[in-house]
Structure 1
Amino acid sequence: VLPEPVTTVQVRVALTATGAAPVVERVDLVGDRAPAAGAAVAAAPLTYRVFATREGLPGGTTANGHVIKARDHFVALPSRRGLAPRDTGDYTVRVCRTDRSRCEYAPVWDVGPWNTKDDYWNPPAQRQMWKDLPQGKPEAQAAHQNGYNGGKDEFGRRVANPAGIDLADGTFWDGLKMSDNGWVDVSYLWTGSGPTGVVTTAGDPLNVRAGASTTAAVKGLAANRARVVVECHVEGESVTGPLGTSTIWDRIGPDHYVSDTYLRTGSDEPVAPKC
């Protein structure tokens, strides 16, 4: 590994034998595509299993001003501390079925369900309310399952389900292919570290694949504008997308790959180490 980027490499071959052999006839040098300078290794984000409900409400307006479309792709969390500005993915989650058969990377564009000051992913010392609950346990879940706070939310309403996340219809039906409310595994991507990229499409969500090919199995979706962590990269099928043509594929989660031509990373070169 060279200590800095170079365009020319000089190689010297020294022969120590005193006889007529060996003879050097050819030397081949092969360079691997290197990550951009300063590329960092990603650290895993916090992940918790919570109950998900379908948000619906097409035509309504979210807490950040987004007008909800039919089969939209975003999520709601019960605290403004995790709310992304409109049309950004500054706060993005990876939400997966518990068997990991399907996942979606989606921005947080609304506040709810039930509470509005329950940043349950934070440790108790940082949590805005309900500081006596374990980290990762939504207040609505504690109220519904254990009678916490008299079984009520912050507004005094009787909690009818343990929901800790709402899913927009497209995330619910198309991303995760859920047919009813249920438990999901949610990774709060901003709590991790590493290089990031913003999913960039014409508007539709991007297929997330099991390998570096457009024929690899689809493992879920990544919503337009979602900000994802680039764990590492591989060389794969050449793809032409909104950001050009490239053979770079970025791994954004366990066995989750997207073409670099759909990920705005700020560089045409890899931003993470090779997988």
Structure 2
Amino acid sequence: MACARRRTLVALTTLLTVTAGLPGAPATAAPPPAAAPDRPAAERWTVDLAVRGGDDVNVAWRSGRLRLADPRPGARTRPAAAGGPVAEGILLVAPRALDRPATRVRARLAARTADGGGATAQVRGWRARGWTEWRDATEAVFDQPVTRVQARVVLTTRDAASEAAVTGLTLTADQVAATAAQPAAARTYRVYATRIGLVGGVTANGHTVATRDHFAALPTRRGLSPRDTGDYTVKVCTTTGSRCEYAPVWDVGPWNTRDDWWNPAAVRENWKDLPQGLPEAQAAYQNGYNGGRDQFGRTVRNPAGLDLADGTFWDGLRLRDNAWVDVTLLWTGGGARAVVGSGPLNLRTGASTTYASRGLAATHAHVPVQCYVTGQRIAGTYRTTTRWYRLVGGTYVSHAYLSSVYGGTVPRC
């Protein structure tokens, strides 16, 4: 007798909150507290799950359900850098401007999964210093009040027999008073980098890999930029510091897809017993951690915690083989950012094209701006100007190729 397929109905309600500590109790009796003011009503909305192309990847809306357009693992249905034995798709919902700032969001996801299929709702919030990392609905926390909320739905299947379908997603945002956290310096670690290659493959955000492309991959979706954005940008440098590139994160991998190795244990998705900054693949390769295997059970054959597209690898860093590099996760810090609208853009040692290049800033990368100077007059993609920005680290880029600047005031050097 054929066995009935096991089905699971998921109803996920999440409370994302930041609260301030309470003062200690008084030594003497206090008068009854005044009545607390009414809290503004929660803002609630139902997410439109219809697929309209654009930033959506391998998903389709059919018969009232969001499904994978192609549930079979392959070169165009799984993250190019990970090469994991699953197909995946992402529905990226347009950001919603909130009626008032919020630090608490509740997400309710209705999904049907079976035979190895998976469905996850993720959210992020916008504050002055940029987007928060993406968080699974059961884990997300906003460190400051946010004025916009964006959601995405991630579907995965291990073969054509798997089921992963979403029928509804509702988000609720509350206004909660919270003290803004002072942004820390962006986190930097030394990790092993490999070259992606895979020209013609499709990245996790739907970008088709081109010859001598410029982007990076990290083994988690938490820092995955939507297509043609650099919301999550890394600065990757050779260990000597002689060459660097700013590159947007457009893919998921190598090896794992749920290893945000730069986060502390309280936040990290998996492998919470590993030291902060140590990728699971490195621990598996060097120390036999997890039996020397990745999350899919594959034997780890190199310690990579970062993948680089060919242009970043060969032209930005001028590497000739896989190597250890220093990588800075720029969204983990604060300060002003400039968006490279036209690149790859040379990182000069001074405010003129006569100065040596020390690397590149890829198109869409968000680069940390320290101050500005007057230098060579440049006629660029966006304007003709003598303004040059000095980036954190000491290199310079012309304002002529930058589409926007956000996150703070930029002083004169």
TM-score (norm 1): 0.81
Matched, 1:94 2:235: yes
Aligned to 2:328: 187
AA aligned to 1:85 is P
**Structure 1 unpaired stretches of 5+:** 1-37
Equivalent residues in 2 for 1:3-42 (5 A)?
none
Equivalent residues in 2 for 1:198-237 (5 A)?
198-201=339-342, 204-237=343-376
Q: What CA distance in whole angstroms lies between the structure 2 residues aligned with 1:207 and 1:44?
A: 24
Query: Would the aligned equivalents of 2:336 and 2:405 in 1 still touch at CA under 8 Å?
Result: no
Segments ≥4 residues shifted beyond 6 Å: none
Q: What CA distance in whole angstroms lies between the structure 2 residues aligned with 1:237 and 1:52?
A: 35
Q: What CA distance in whole angstroms lies between the structure 2 residues aligned with 1:236 and 1:67?
A: 37
Q: What CA distance in whole angstroms lies between the structure 2 residues aligned with 1:105 and 1:179?
A: 19
Alpha-carbon deviation of 1:263? 1.5
Query: Would the aligned equivalents of 1:198 and 1:225 in 2 still touch at CA under 8 Å?
Result: yes
Secondary structure at 1:183 match in 2? strand
AA aligned to 1:193 is G
AA aligned to 1:274 is R
* 1:74-124 alpha-carbon deviations (Å, 9 max, x no partner): 000000001000000000000000001110000000000000000011111
Matched, 1:250 2:393: no
Equivalent residues in 2 for 1:252-271 (5 A)?
252-266=391-405, 271=409
Q: What CA distance in whole angstroms lies between the structure 2 residues aligned with 1:244 and 1:152?
A: 51
Quick check: which one's strand share is greater? 2
Matched, 1:197 2:338: yes
Equivalent residues in 2 for 1:75-224 (5 A)?
75-201=216-342, 204-224=343-363
Aligned to 2:411: 273
Query: Would the aligned equivalents of 2:225 and 2:250 in 1 still touch at CA under 8 Å?
Result: yes
1 or 2 for the larger relative contact order (CA 8 Å, sep ≥6)?
1
Query: Would the aligned equivalents of 1:230 and 1:271 in 2 still touch at CA under 8 Å?
Result: no
Aligned to 2:206: 65
* RMSD of Structure 2 on Structure 1 (CA): 1.9
Quick check: which one's helix share is greater? 1
AA aligned to 1:72 is D
Query: Would the aligned equivalents of 2:337 and 2:405 in 1 still touch at CA under 8 Å?
Result: no
Q: How many residues align?
A: 233
Query: Would the aligned equivalents of 1:265 and 1:271 in 2 still touch at CA under 8 Å?
Result: no
Query: Would the aligned equivalents of 1:212 and 1:237 in 2 still touch at CA under 8 Å?
Result: yes
Alpha-carbon deviation of 1:252? 2.0
Q: What CA distance in whole angstroms lies between the structure 1 residues aligned with 2:271 and 2:370?
A: 33
- Worse overlay, 42-51 or 111-120: 42-51
Matched, 1:50 2:167: no
* 1:18-66 alpha-carbon deviations (Å, 9 max, x no partner): xxxxxxxxxxxxxxxxxxxx99xx9631100000000000011000000
Alpha-carbon deviation of 1:259? 0.5
* Identity %, equivalent residues: 64
- Worse overlay, 181-190 or 223-232: 223-232
* 1:213-248 alpha-carbon deviations (Å, 9 max, x no partner): 111110000000111121222221111111211121
